[in-house]
């Protein structure tokens, strides 16, 4: 069993200024490392949220020229920390984007890459509507990554609403689940804490869920409340409404303890149906 470690979740309010967003996020990563964090997780789209989809598509970069990647690879190597880039908008051959997460080790190497599978197409009240499929090409592969502390399962934001993904990650060996997000204020107030805690409880895993907060010049509001949750569903840290970071101690043995008490991952059954009755 691996030793206990500290994890941090960064909470920022990215707007349409890439340079400023990267500088502010780097400062928060440095502060989290100074607080002892060995794994530092950033939110979805931490580097840029544009006014509209057309502008986001126009500003997107291919992987080889995106400035966030070499910058945070260098930072990880300098700080001797693992850094999860929650997601970046990466231009791909189709002309659309991948909403892509990167895990960087303490030597600055990219050890895992995950493209968001479930895309956020919703119609909320008061005309609040989102069409991620207009600009983003969905991924089709679940991803786990080996870390010094055990296996980490990767996901992004709207994936949170699809529990079968997290069960598959846990069944594949994940002891920790990363859920970087930019949840809307509307859906976050209603569902964020409930869903994050549920994913932890269902799988007996720690959940690291860094989120974006605040209101942008465009008026888009994100919920914040980055969370670190233990395998029993207990909230160890909550980021509230403002930019900053949260940090918590992670005990890998807690995963084994909870999974022994409630071995639900061993109790899956094959079944048929449902079929209409009557």
Q: What gap in Å lies between CA 246 and CA 107, rounded to an integer?
A: 23
Number of H helices, E strands in the chain: 7, 16
Q: Alpha-carbon torsion 187, 27, 206, 46, what sign? A: positive
- DSSP, collapsed to helix, strand or coil, labels residue 161 as helix
Out of 9, 41, 157, 213, which one is annotated catalytic? 157
Main-chain phi, psi angles of 253, to 5 degrees: -65, -25
C-beta separation of 141 from 171 below 8 A = no
157 is catalytic: yes
Out of 24, 44, 132, 137, which one is annotated catalytic? 44
Provide the strand spans (E) within 195-251.
206-209, 213-215, 221-223, 227-229, 235-238, 244-250
Residues counted in the chain: 278
13 is catalytic: no
213 is catalytic: no
- DSSP, collapsed to helix, strand or coil, labels residue 139 as coil
What is the token pair recorded at 85?
Answer: 């880039």
Out of 116, 132, 137, 254, which one is annotated catalytic? 116
The catalytic residue positions are: 44, 116, 157
């Amino acid at each position: 069993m691996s030793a206990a470690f500290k994890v941090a979740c960064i909470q920022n309010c990215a707007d349409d200024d890439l340079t400023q967003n990267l500088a502010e996020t780097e400062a928060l990563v440095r502060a989290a490392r100074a607080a002892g964090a060995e794994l530092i997780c950033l939110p979805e789209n931490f580097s840029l949220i544009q006014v509209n989809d057309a502008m986001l598509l126009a500003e997107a970069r291919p992987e080889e020229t995106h400035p966030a990647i070499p910058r945070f690879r260098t930072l990880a190597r300098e700080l001797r920390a693992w850094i999860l880039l929650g997601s970046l908008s990466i231009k791909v051959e189709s002309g659309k984007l991948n909403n892509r997460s990167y895990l960087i080790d303490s030597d600055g190497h990219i050890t895992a890459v995950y493209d968001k599978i479930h895309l956020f197409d919703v119609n909320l009240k008061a005309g609040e509507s989102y069409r991620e499929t207009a600009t983003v090409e969905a991924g089709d592969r679940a991803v786990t990554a080996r870390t010094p502390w055990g296996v980490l399962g990767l996901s992004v934001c709207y994936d949170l609403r699809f529990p079968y993904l997290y069960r598959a990650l846990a069944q594949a060996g994940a002891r920790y689940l990363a859920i970087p997000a930019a949840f809307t204020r509307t859906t976050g107030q209603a569902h964020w804490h409930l869903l994050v805690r549920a994913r932890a409880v269902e799988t007996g895993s720690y959940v690291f869920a860094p989120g974006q907060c605040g209101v942008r010049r465009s008026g888009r509001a994100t919920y914040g409340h980055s969370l670190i949750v233990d395998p029993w569903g207990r909230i160890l840290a909550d980021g509230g409404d403002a930019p900053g970071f949260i940090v918590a101690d992670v005990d890998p043995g807690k995963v084994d303890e909870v999974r022994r008490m409630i071995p639900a991952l061993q109790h899956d059954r094959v079944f048929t149906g449902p079929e209409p009755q009557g």
